[in-house]
Amino acid sequence: MKTRALLPIAVAAVALAGCSSEDPADTTAAPAGAATSSAAPAAGTSSAAAPSSAAATGGGCPVDATALQKAFQANAEVAGAIILGKGFKDISCYQGYATALTQPEAMDTAVVVFKYDPAKKTWAALIGGTDNVCENTVPAAIRPNLKHCT
């Protein structure tokens, strides 16, 4: 009986946990589906090493720079307007949305916003820029959980 009572609590903890990295320099979060610890993080915490809660949160988290760069290059409009430079850094991911910073040389760093498509199991670049890119793109309840949307 106790197992049944704890299962909803464990599922809720996984659903509430974000998947952004605590380390701003961390750009090597484990790709979606990678083997991770089987222990569920406490509610309200986030960690790149936390188990993927793809089914509970909308999927895709954690995500790595390679997957986001592929999504960025697939969107000619966003890729044509933003200079990527050395690639993405400081990736933040929560409930099917992600943000990442570009690394251009001698230019301002831009924020690129991505959304995960669970049906296709792929990421898509939505918008990029230097000011308020999340405001009309990312739902208000998700914005506080993404580093570059606050």
What is the tens place of the pLDDT at every residue in 27-50?
434 334 333 333 333 333 333 333
| SS3 state at 55 | helix
- Residue 65's alpha-carbon distances to 14, 29, 88, 128, in angstroms, are 23, 8, 6, 15
Model confidence over 79-97: pLDDT tens digits? 999 999 999 999 999 999 9
Q: How confident is the model at residue 8 (pLDDT cuts 50, 70, 90)?
A: very low
Parse the chain into domains and list their residue ranges: 2-149
Q: Output the pLDDT for position 92.
A: 96
Burial of 9 (0-12, 13-18, 19+ CB in 10 A): exposed
Sign of CA dihedral 84, 87, 91, 97: positive
